[in-house]
Amino acid sequence: MQIVRGNIVDTERREIFKGTVVIADGIIADIRREDNEEDSYIIPGFVDAHVHIESSLLTPAAFGDLVSRCGVVAVVADPHEIANVMGREGVEFMRQDAVQSPIKSYFTIPSSVPATPFDCAGGVIDAETVAEMVASGGYVGLSEVMNVPGVLFEDAEVMAKLSTAKAHNIPIDGHAPLLHGESLAKYVASGISTDHECSTLEEAKEKIALGMKILIREGSAAHNFETLKELIAIAPHRVMFCSDDIHPDDIVAGRYINSLVTRALKDGYNLFDVLRIASHNPIEHYNLPVGLLRVGDRADFQVVADLITLTPQAVYIDGKEQLSTPHLVPKEIQINNFNHQSISLSDLKRAVHAPIDIISVRAGQLITDIERYTPSKDIANLESDIKHDVAKIVYINRYNNGVPQVAYCSGFGMQCGAIASSIAHDSHNIIAIGCSDAALQQAINAVIENSGALAVSVNNTCSVLPLPVGGIMSNKSGMEIATRYQHICNISKETGCHLHSPFMTLSFMSLVVIPSIKIGEKGLFSYDKFDWIDAGASL
């Protein structure tokens, strides 16, 4: 039997009292009201309501080791990144590795692998596979439905996946940026219950009015908390917190779910509402077997120093205190799907003879804008236009030794060099941006030589962070990768890039299901038209 004393924050009765939590066999056997000398507070553990663990560059076990130190006791993970690389085999790897994690990892079934018919991934999860996975048990929902046109035009494959989820009464997550009006109403009526892509308060309110629950997202590239935080007061019962995609250095720096809670409290939002959003709401929505600091629940909670910083002093999961345990010792992992030969400089050439559409990046957003760029003269090979913040962006299919697709992008602020990555949502082909073909070639070939990596080329020197697990994750510990990732990010800033998270932003430049313009298998893609843009043509 274990005894934990402190000021107990009861989020159901909405009161705080001095007391004792009694734990027996991982269960809260009793909560007693009694005086004690403890100044600390006992609160529910936090839950990340939607995260792609792979985006942390860590395996589930290493990820759990890192986030448990932020007061997080559980996550709802969508493994569609590794599913795009390895199919169902990749999903099973994530579930097996998560068994070693100190936190509780619950998985949803990827609904969009590949994300659209326009993507070329390394794996496929079709309606038949979804049915098999649902029947196997162990999944808490159907992952974000990104094929919005497939829902609106009632594509047979998409509708079959939705029908399977509804028949088994598991939640269906959404992904519908900027969708509104009749189209949104039809999307919601199909059974989709959440959305984490809201970029305006009005968009979120409309979705809530139709019955959706909104996940306020704050990741490494997408920052939506400030825009959406009013929802905490307006509709606290219909809001959850999530990271979606987050890198390890942000987690170590405390910019995770714990940060959203402290920011909300600093802004004056009600303590009990905020704590319920960070715990009760996702647990109840996904029907998770996670404790909520009640007698009879699993002993999943945290002890914090105060109700301002919420600094964890102890984190209990199934009654086991986690912060006193040593960091995870990583193991060797062999799982990948990578097939591409080194590229030459000639592969990157592109002539520009007329005005062209280019990708314009919004800082802190995944949404991009379409910008019209007019060169001062015809150019046989435009490498970049540094004066106008125009850099060359390259996409290469890594599964079929694909030919590079070359376009242009503004908003990174690069003055020299190049960065490249094998993390390119959602199919995870090779993506790169740079100011010179020589730097692009060096960075891209470093990614290829490592069968997956992050790479920076500056002044003819290339720095590399290998990602041997599926070409998107490392097999090292969270603390080690946080340090190494921060190091390579610092080097990337030597290119002149001013974005907070250059690699995370770059990884979304190929995600065609995010407005308004991206790069993919056939060049530039228009989200509004949901089709390819002809080379040199304008929207």
Domain boundaries, the chain: 45-290, 345-532
- Mean pLDDT computed over every residue of the chain: 95
CA dist 303 and 299 (Å) reads: 12
Fold of 45-290: TIM Barrel (3.20.20)
pTM of the model: 0.94
**Is the pLDDT score of 508 beyond 70?**
yes
Helix (H, G, I), strand (E, B) or coil at 312: strand
SS3 457: strand
Instruction: Find the helix or strand (DSSP H, E) in which 242 lies.
Output: strand 239-242
73: left (phi over 0), alpha (psi -120 to 50) or beta: alpha
Closest CA to 70 of 308, 320, 253, 241: 253
* CA 412 from centroid of its chain's CA atoms: 20
The pLDDT value given to residue 40: 97
Segment 311-328, tens digit of pLDDT: 999 999 999 999 887 777
Number of Cβ within 10 Å of residue 372's Cβ equals: 11
Proportion of the chain above pLDDT 90, given as a percent: 93
Quick one: average pLDDT of 496-500? 93
| Short-list 119, 161, 143, CA closest to 511 | 119
**Which pLDDT belongs to residue 363?**
85
Is the pLDDT assigned to residue 539 strictly greater than 70?
A: no
pLDDT tens digits, 238-272:
999 999 999 999 999 999 999 999 999 999 999 99
How does residue 333 score in pLDDT terms, banded at 50, 70 and 90?
A: confident
How far CA 387 is from CA of 390, 391, 411, 413, 435, in Å, comes to 8, 10, 12, 10, 11
Token pair for residue 338?
């990578």
Rounded CA Rg of the chain = 23
- The pLDDT tens digits for 422-469 are 999 999 999 999 999 999 999 999 999 999 999 999 999 999 999 999
Could you read off the pLDDT of 72-124 as tens digits, one per residue?
999 999 999 999 999 999 999 999 999 999 999 999 999 999 988 899 999 99
In the prediction, which pLDDT does 440 show?
98
Tally of helices (H runs) and strands (E runs) in the chain: 17, 27
**pLDDT given at position 376:** 87
Q: What local confidence, expressed as pLDDT, does residue 538 receive? A: 42
Residue 166 dihedral angles phi and psi, to the nearest 5° = -65, -35
Residue 177: exposure state from Cβ atoms within 10 A (0-12, 13-18, ≥19): buried
Which tens digit of pLDDT belongs to each residue from 187-233? Answer: 999 999 999 999 999 999 999 999 999 999 999 889 999 999 999 99
pLDDT band at 536; cut points 50, 70, 90: very low
Model pLDDT, residue 537: 44
More confidently predicted of 198 and 538: 198
pLDDT score at 331 = 79
